[in-house]
Amino acid sequence: ATEETQSQTETEAPPEIPQSKIIDAPYIYQNVDYPNGCESVSAVMALQYFGIDITVDEFIDGYLDMGPAPIINGLGPDPTLVYCGDPRRKDGWGCHSSVIVNALDKLIDYDKFTVSAFRGRDLNELCRRYIDRDIPVIIWATVGMVDSSNELYWASWTTPQGKKVTYNKRLHCLLLVGYDEYNYYFNDS
């Protein structure tokens, strides 16, 4: 029996590792109604993919913590705590992932879903860990995936509490939905 089991195991093909995968997540175009709402739009695309019936307006009005638009070299809110400005306006700014996590925490049923935030993961790892398991990933990048080290891409202000904020004006949020041998695929609102 040992030889028979061993020979069957040797002839079975190893499990197939996907060379490509694309999740069919809903796509929402942001530019008309949400010119600076990429974070909220990306979150809603992910929520709708998981069957949560919510619109971008419902997400913004009911769950997104918002503050005023900052004044460059003046005062402004902390983008780790609130969305800076209004995502429906062209002069809106944005927020960091912690604000979206907080909004999702208010919304989701933790008996069915979890929300995780992390930094510094590469896209390949995200694809293997989440896309291969049919889980789209909300990511922060830059518009056009440009290198944002140029000082022209940055703005600063101080919060009323005295915290210095340096904000990437090219910050953009997308929903990672797939990959193949050569590319990553996003729902880029």
Q: Please tell me whether residue 172 adopts helix, strand or coil conformation.
A: strand
Question: pLDDT tens digit string along 175-189?
Answer: 999 999 999 999 999
Rounded-to-integer distance, Cα 150 and Cα 154, Å: 8
pLDDT of residue 12: 56
CA angle 119, 124, 130 (to 5 degrees): 75
- For the stretch 119-162, pLDDT in tens is 889 999 999 999 999 999 999 998 888 887 877 789 999 999 99
Report whether pLDDT(101) > 50.
yes
d(CA 47, CA 109): 11
The predicted model gives 27-33 an average pLDDT of: 93
d(Cα 134, Cα 129) in Å, to the nearest integer?
A: 10
The pLDDT tens digits of the residues spanning 36-55 come to 999 999 999 999 999 999 99
- Give CA–CA dist 103/58, Å, rounded: 11
Per-residue pLDDT, 28: 97
**CB distance 157 to 70 below 8 Å:** yes
pLDDT at 148: 79
State how far the alpha carbon of 159 is from the alpha carbons of 39, 106, 107, 155, in Å: 21, 25, 27, 13
Structure tokens at 85: 């400005």
Q: Give the per-residue pLDDT at 152.
A: 76
pTM of the model: 0.87
Place of tokens 């927020």: 95
For residue 127, the Cα-to-chain-centroid distance in whole angstroms is: 13
Which long-range contacts does 128-134 make (Cβ < 8 Å, 24+ apart)?
130/176, 131/21, 131/23, 131/176, 131/177, 131/178, 131/179, 132/18, 132/21, 134/23
